[in-house]
Amino acid sequence: MTVKNRELLESLFRAAVGAAHPSRCLPPNLPEPPERGRLIVLAAGKGGGSLTEAAEQHYLARMPANRLTGVAVTRHGYGRPTRHIPVVEAGHPVPDAAGLAGAERMLELADSATADDRVLVLLSGGASANLIAPAAGITLEEKQATTRALLRSGANIGEINCVRKHLSRIKGGRLAKRAYPARVATLAISDVPGDDPAVIGSGPTVPDPTTLADARTIAAKYRLDLPQAVIRALEDPANESPKPGDPAFAATSFKIIARPADALAAAEARARDAGYDTVVLGDRLQGEAREVAAEHAKIARTAAAAGRRVAILSGGELTVTLRGNGRGGPNQEYALALAIHLGGAKGIAAMAADTDGTDGGRGAPDDPAGAFIDDTTLGRAKTAGLDPAAFLADNNSTGFFNGIGDLFTPGPTFTNVTDFRAIVVDRPSQ
């Protein structure tokens, strides 16, 4: 890939990420501290550490430190150097013991809240995995096995979080219920198509419109191989989540401070500054990564045939149904499938990357966020002895792009707003 193409595509990604960074979007939205009681900050997700860092800087200048408390739970490698509120680094996408300990501390703080206190909940994508508080009778290992089954199934994020909410003591409105009668204000960075508060972080502070029956239907739809304790929990009425109208939500508020549409708008502005027309396919795309890639390849080919100079942008969370044994994530799989469907078409380059800085992988902070492609991708792969179709069949997009040097590995971005995809089409003369 040319340096020019890579720099342009990366600049679009950086613009998208910058629009959703907590240092930019959080301070203007922070509420006033309580007059008498404590401000209890409870943060979770891949932006949990940076959200807490920004909130702490804001409040320590405005209130006594002894009235500020809380805890943040974020992904391993996403911690920030806070001064007062501890940050716990935990597992993602598969939860771990650190996340369990962090969630238990969060529940303890919620239980201690009084009517004089204000509970400030700061959410970002990844909170569903980071906040692990299994329902009664379910072990951490059984919750981990359930998470792996969901991730392998091809279920979308709403379906995954529906099941999670009915196996938890903190998700699906239960955190707000534990904090009652304190006032609970939630500020969230959305990473889900449609920006549904009940889906972001599995909605720990909002009523849950889904039911145990819904969760059982999802388990049956994807033929999930679940531990017996989990099957029993999904049949236990005690695990039904709080619904709209529950008094626990009477003193709660919820506001989205950054959303996928904001990230795409920033990238669109950057593309226009670079001289490209833009086509925004939406921030809510869902579906199998390889199938969406096939559709986008047709759009790019049509633009190229018309001689357009255009940036085609999209967001939303794609899925991968695992059939092979390789490594990768939906962004890398999309990029690999896109390269195959473009077939080396001249003047087209693209990237797909997760705005949190990692795409699938082992849950390590140095996992790739995505990958780049251009009209030289297939030729270079052939020279290196790599068969793109074989790598795609094995779900081994990481292995493919590692073999030609086109992985994108920015490291943690300390936010999470959407999967980001950009295809740039240049006129043949350029």
The pLDDT tens digits for 128-139 are 999 999 999 999
The answer to whether residues 87 and 48 touch, using CB atoms and an 8 Å cutoff, is yes
What confidence score (pLDDT) does residue 428 get?
64
The string of pLDDT tens digits covering residues 382-415 is: 999 999 999 999 999 999 999 999 999 999 999 9
DSSP 8-state code for residue 27: G
**3-16+261-425 and 21-133+168-207+242-258 agree in CATH topology:** no
Length of the chain: 430
Query: What is the reported pLDDT for 430?
Result: 43
Residue type, 259: R
Contact 387, 414 (CB under 8 A): no
Kindly state the percentage of the chain with pLDDT values over 90: 90
Q: Which contiguous run of DSSP H or E holds residue 254?
A: strand 252-258
DSSP 8-state assignment for residue 87: E
* CA 168 to chain CA mean position, Å: 19
CATH code for the part of the protein at 21-133+168-207+242-258 = 3.40.50.10180
Report the pLDDT averaged over residues 42-58.
Answer: 97
Decide: residue 106, CB within 10 A, 0-12 exposed, 13-18 middle, 19+ buried: buried
Amino acid (1-letter code) at residue 78: Y
Sheet holding 419-425, edge to edge: 277-280, 310-314, 419-425, 348-354, 370-373, 407-408
CB 271 within 8 A of CB 313: yes
- Residue 407 corresponds to which amino acid? L
pLDDT at 361 exceeding the cut of 90: no
Section 144-160 average pLDDT: 91
67 band by pLDDT with thresholds 50, 70 and 90: very high
pLDDT digit string (tens) for 227-257? 999 999 999 999 999 999 999 999 999 999 9
- Please give the CATH architecture assigned to the domain spanning 3-16+261-425: 3-Layer(aba) Sandwich (3.40)
**In the chain, where the domains are located:** 3-16+261-425, 21-133+168-207+242-258
pTM: 0.90
Q: How does pLDDT run across 283-312, given as a tens digit for each residue?
A: 999 899 999 999 999 999 999 999 999 999
What average pLDDT score do residues 268-272 get?
A: 98
Please give the mean pLDDT across all residues of the chain.
95
Q: Is the pLDDT of residue 205 over 50?
A: yes
